[in-house]
Amino acid sequence: MSSSPFTHPSRPRSPQRPLRPQLVPRSRPRYSALSLWHLLSLDAPTVATLWTVFIARCSHLHLPWTEPAAMFLAVWMIYAADRLLDARLADTPPLESRLSPTDLETRHRFHHAHRTAFLAFIVFSSIALAVLLHRIDSGALHLYALLATLLAAWMLLIHIRPAPNGPTGRLPKELAVGIFFPAAVFIPTLVRTTPTAAAIHFIGSAANWIRPSLLPSALLFAAVCTLNCLCLYAWEHPTPRNQELSTDDPPPTAEIPHQQAHWTTRWATSHLTTIALVILAASTIASVSRALPIALPALACSLSTAALFALNLYRRRLSPIHLRATADLVLLTPILFLPFVR
């Protein structure tokens, strides 16, 4: 065999070096606008701000821009902080965690991966919120301070409380959302309306805290918010009993997280159909009221409840992240009526 310019007959050919493995860069996941709206914790602030303006408009009130802006920042900070606290599970051994690793959803992992940016924005938002608070009605500010104190105590119980040992140890976040979320939305309208003589006569000093014209809307909105949270929990923790709205679900993949839920959550997710139909019937009946502060919010609640019901039926056609984002999107029904309310 004749030698080539690249080999020499007197030198043995060196063994071939193994090829180095080539590092393939990871492709970053691409999120749609709807999923980013959810992952950036912008869904709850959008719902709260829209409903705050809508409830005020239904009572013929025009809020200064500072109050909806403060509402948006405050709710965003609360939800972002809550998801960051839940995201600590990524660094916590499963046996020491208060929840199962399956409870870490995409939103938790997203917040954990970008925790530095979220913490920075929380700091900037707190500064902006402090500036806005100086321009908020003093009566509303006092009620917000009371509400914030109660909410802080509730979050402390949820996040700092030791891991539950029994099946009913987990405090229900769904109940907290059903109470605190509507209360924050209705406070700006509450402090700008005066109690009627009839209300003072029948309920006495409680008329300073309760407005009969706002109470039906507040209760319906609280019920819809609670239903939203219950649906989300049922979809993320499927069990044979909690999918009452549809009976053709596959077998459950995780029993433990549902068993750790509070008994009220387990009972409610087992009766979603009944709860949804009761809310739908009540809001539909209230929507025929001649009082605008009751009729329009009730109609918006009715549409949101019907949309949640339909979304549950077709949830298999959506990815988990789009399903959760759409569940919050259907709460934006007031946008249909806001242009017609003066």
Residue 62 domain-assigned (yes or no): yes
Helix axes 215-236, 43-58, angle to 10 degrees: 160
127 falls within a domain = yes
Most confident of 36-40, 151-155, 191-195: 36-40
Q: What is the pTM of this model?
A: 0.79
Q: Is 252 a member of any domain? A: yes
* 15 part of a folded domain: no
- Tell me how many domains the chain contains: 1
pLDDT at position 257? 44
pLDDT band for 89, please (50, 70, 90 cuts): low
Residue 121 domain-assigned (yes or no): yes
- 14-31 pLDDT, tens per residue? 455 555 544 444 556 678
pLDDT at 118 over 90: yes
**pLDDT tier at 151 (50, 70, 90 boundaries)?**
confident
The proportion of the chain whose per-residue pLDDT surpasses 90, expressed as a percent, equals: 42
Name every residue whose Cβ is closer than 8 Å to that of residue 280 and which is 6 or more positions away in sequence.
302, 305, 306, 309
- Kindly state the average pLDDT of the residues 126-140: 91
In a domain, 73, yes or no: yes
Q: Is residue 293 part of a domain?
A: yes
Q: Where is pLDDT greater, at 160 or 305?
A: 305
List helix spans (H) across the chain. Answer: 33-39, 43-58, 66-86, 106-113, 115-133, 138-159, 173-190, 197-203, 215-236, 256-259, 263-269, 272-286, 292-313, 320-329
Residue 311 in any domain: the answer is yes
Average pLDDT, the chain: 79
Residue 235 has pLDDT above 80, yes or no: yes
pLDDT at 208: 64
Domain coverage including residue 316? 34-340
